[in-house]
Copies of this chain bind each other. A is one copy, B any other.
Amino acid sequence: MNHPAHQPTESLAGWRAAPATPGTALADVDTPALLLDLDAMEHNMASVHARIRAAGISVRPHAKAHKSIDIARRQIAAGARGICCQKPSEAEVFVRAGILDILITNQVVGPQKCERVARLASQARIGVCVDHLEQVRQIGEAARANQVRVEVLIEVDIGHGRCGIASASDALTLARALQPYSGNLVFGGIHAFRGSAQHMRDPAERSQAVSKAVAQLKEIVAALEGEGLNCITVTGGGTGTYMLEAGSDLYTEVQPGSYVLMDTDYAANRNVGDTPMLRHALFGLCTVISVHPGHAVLDGGLKAFAVDQGLPRVLHAGWTVKSLSDEHTVILRGDEAAPLNVGDKVRMIPSHCDPTVNLHDWLIAVRGDLVEEIWPVSARGALF
């Protein structure tokens, strides 16, 4: 099989130079740039993987958070069994890079997307989620036409109120619907993820949410296994709850994504028991372009930082973020704060890492004050 590493990405990025080269001093990186602190990322990856390994289950990190071939390869090297993606076009980027075990944690609908999944399944182990017979029909026809095997997980709604069936009878209906496609659709088990549970600040509340989900899922798994439909995989969980699913005696793998990068939203969670504390590894680096008595203006705005989970945080003593517009952030000077000058550089912590990374072409991987590597955001914009 032929999967030239980085080839598609390099042709993507070739026309627009990265804001630094390896060896650049941090002070000389052009802005607004997205910095990845390698020490922090390595700490997060090692400690979370160790915690999950200790629980005896697998980690399949979600690549929608970082969209980076380089990070995904390190996750695999650090024991991940594969990765999650959210879209077929995202999975294509990683399969081309040689990552050959991918779960698409989403419903795949429409002829173009089903065809893409079927083609991927000729090169890699690909799973998808279903919660409706029409999805089974569409992916089943594409898998049959392409003579490939696609793993199918039934998505269960455990309180998120988005996708997923909720009852054992619906799960049985879906699982039985795979049978006409046997040989092309392989029943794999259950996918159950509750995004809203990830950000419950109180660990007791998160624990309660996961316990309730596990009870619901155990009933569904029992019903399926009662009909000989073995749930080899029960997968879900994220950065806020992975330690709870890991202790559930049900989940066989967890899907944390943000844990390698972190953001202000996850940092606002209170930690669960003995779980490793995560470090901020992702920072926006901005330049001060305009200064005034009570405020200064940075050269990155809404096109450099996602704001769906609130404003990013500026890391400069006494200064706070007031507002973002398309290409500017206005920061306010507190009473005790030292002034900033035109040309000064400041770091920001994104409020939500996933959509922030998706705004950038490059991750500038730094160690201390030096740029170590430049990593393309290989799956940026992979919407299809």
Which residues in A have some Cβ–Cβ distance to B below 8 Å? 8-9, 11-12, 14-16, 19, 30-32, 64, 86-87, 89, 106-110, 112-113, 131-132, 134-135, 138, 161-164, 195, 287-291, 295, 297, 299-300, 302-304, 306-308, 324-328, 330, 341-343, 352, 354-355, 358-361, 380-384
Contact = CB atoms under 8 A, between A and B. Distances in A.
B12 A15 contact: yes
B343 A134 contact: yes
B328 A289 contact: no
A162 B8 contact: no
A131 B300 CA distance: 18
A310 to B, nearest CB: 11
B303 A383 contact: yes
Contacts of A112: 19, 30
A134 to B, nearest CB: 4
Specify the main secondary structure of chain A where it touches its partner: loop
Nearest to A67: B303
Contact of A86 (B11, B110, B326): B326
Contacts of A361: 381
Contacts of A89: 16
Contacts of A382: 16
A32 B300 CA distance: 26
A341 B343 CA distance: 54
Given A308-B307, A328-B163, A383 B32 contact: yes
A109 B298 CA distance: 10
Given A195-B325, A341-B134, A14 B15 contact: no
Given A30-B113, A358-B359, A383-B300, A162 B330 contact: yes
B109 A289 contact: yes
Nearest to A138: B343
Contacts of A295: 161
B326 A19 contact: no
A174 to B, nearest CB: 12
B162 A297 contact: yes
Contacts of A291: 132
Given A16-B382, A330-B161, A131 B30 contact: no
Given A15-B12, A302-B355, A384-B19, A132 B290 contact: yes
